[in-house]
Amino acid sequence: MMRRLGTIVALAAVALLAGCERYATPESLRGGGTGAPIALTSQSITLPDETVTLPASADIVTVNCTACHSPDLILAQPKLKPEQWQAEVTKMRGAYKATIDEQDDGKIVAALLALQK
Amino acid sequence: MAEWLRQPIARRSALTLGAGALASSPLWAQLLVDLGFSQGDGRRPLTDAFPGKRGMILQRARAPLLETPMAAFDGELGASTFTPNDRFFVRWHYADIPLSVDVDAFRLQVGGAVNRPLSLSLKQVQALPQVEIAAVNQCSGNSRGLFGPRVPGAQWGNGAIGNALWTGVRLRDLLERAGVAPGAVQVQFAGLDRPPGDAPWFAKSLTIDHARADEVIVAYGMNGTQLPLLNGFPLRLIVPGWFSTYWVKALDRITVLSAPDTGYWMDKAYRIPATPRASVVPGAKDFPTVPIGRMLPRAFFTRADAGGVRGIALGGDAGVAKVEWSIDGGKSWHAAQLGHDAGRYGFRRWAASVPPGAQTVAVRTTNTSGATQRFDPIWNPGGYMRNSIETMKVTQA
Q: Domain range spanning residue B121?
A: 108-291
Position B302 pLDDT exceeds 90:
yes
Q: How confident is the model at residue A34 (pLDDT cuts 50, 70, 90)?
A: low
The answer to whether B73 and B136 are in contact (CB under 8 A) is no
Q: Could you check whether the bond before residue B8 is cis, i.e. omega within 30 degrees of 0? A: no
Burial (CB < 10 A; 0-12, 13-18, 19+), residue B231, is buried
Q: How confident is the model at residue B307 (pLDDT cuts 50, 70, 90)?
A: confident
Q: Which amino acid is at A106?
A: G
B235/B250 Cα distance (integer angstroms): 5
> Of chain B residues 347-386, which have a CB less than 8 A from chain A?
none
Closest in A51, A55, A77 to B1, CB measured: A51
Flag if A84 and B152 touch (Cβ within 8 Å): yes
Asked, for residue A38, whether it belongs to a domain, the answer is no
CATH number at residue A83: 1.10.760.10
pLDDT digits (tens, 9 = 90+) for B109-156: 999 999 999 999 999 999 999 999 999 999 999 999 999 999 999 999
B245/B131 Cα distance (integer angstroms): 22
Structurally, chain B folds into a number of domains equal to 2
In chain A, residues with a C-beta closer than 8 Å to the C-beta of B229 are: 43-45
In which region does residue A29 sit, left (phi positive, over 0), alpha (psi from -120 to 50) or beta (all else)? Answer: alpha
Phi first, then psi, for residue B85 (nearest 5°) are -55, -35
A49/A69 Cα distance (integer angstroms): 13
Flag if B79 and A25 touch (Cβ within 8 Å): no
Asked, for residue A99, whether it belongs to a domain, the answer is yes
Q: Write down which residue in B291, B318, B339 finishes a domain.
A: B291
Q: Are strands B108-112 and B118-120 parallel, antiparallel or unpaired?
A: antiparallel
Task: Indicate if B233 and B335 belong to the same structural domain.
Answer: no
Contacts of B26 (CB under 8 A, 6+ apart): none
B110/B188 Cα distance (integer angstroms): 10
Model ipTM over 0.85: yes
- Beta bridge partner(s), residue B255: B111, B188
- Worst-scoring range by mean pLDDT, A28-32, B190-194, B314-318, B389-393? A28-32
Distance (Å) from the alpha carbon of A109 to chain B's nearest alpha carbon: 14
Asked, for residue B77, whether it belongs to a domain, the answer is no
- What's the whole-number mean pLDDT along residues B67-82? 96
Asked, for residue B18, whether it belongs to a domain, the answer is no
Asked, for residue A42, whether it belongs to a domain, the answer is no
Task: Indicate if B132 and B276 belong to the same structural domain.
Answer: yes
Distance (Å) from the alpha carbon of A107 to chain B's nearest alpha carbon: 18
Asked, for residue A27, whether it belongs to a domain, the answer is no
Distances (CA, A) of B241 to A96, B347, B367, B387: 29, 11, 12, 14
pLDDT digits (tens, 9 = 90+) for A63-105: 999 999 999 999 999 999 999 999 999 999 999 999 999 999 9
Beta strands in B18-81 (DSSP E): 31-34, 43-47, 56-60, 65-67
B167/B178 Cα distance (integer angstroms): 21
Task: Indicate if B178 and B258 belong to the same structural domain.
Answer: yes
B390/B301 Cα distance (integer angstroms): 8
Q: What pLDDT does A17 receive?
A: 40
Q: Which amino acid is at B70?
A: M
Task: Indicate if B261 and B331 belong to the same structural domain.
Answer: no
pLDDT digits (tens, 9 = 90+) for B223-273: 999 999 999 999 999 999 999 999 999 999 999 999 999 999 999 999 999
Distances (CA, A) of B345 to A21, B129, B166, B302, B321: 15, 21, 11, 19, 12
Q: Write down which residue in B291, B319, B347 finishes a domain.
A: B291
Asked, for residue A61, whether it belongs to a domain, the answer is yes
B56 interfaces chain A, CB cutoff of 8 Å: no
The answer to whether B304 and B312 are in contact (CB under 8 A) is no
Cβ pairs A/B, distance under 8 A: 235
C-alpha closest to that of B382 among B106, B142, B119? B142
B215 interfaces chain A, CB cutoff of 8 Å: yes
Structurally, chain A folds into a number of domains equal to 1
Distance (Å) from the alpha carbon of B255 to chain A's nearest alpha carbon: 23
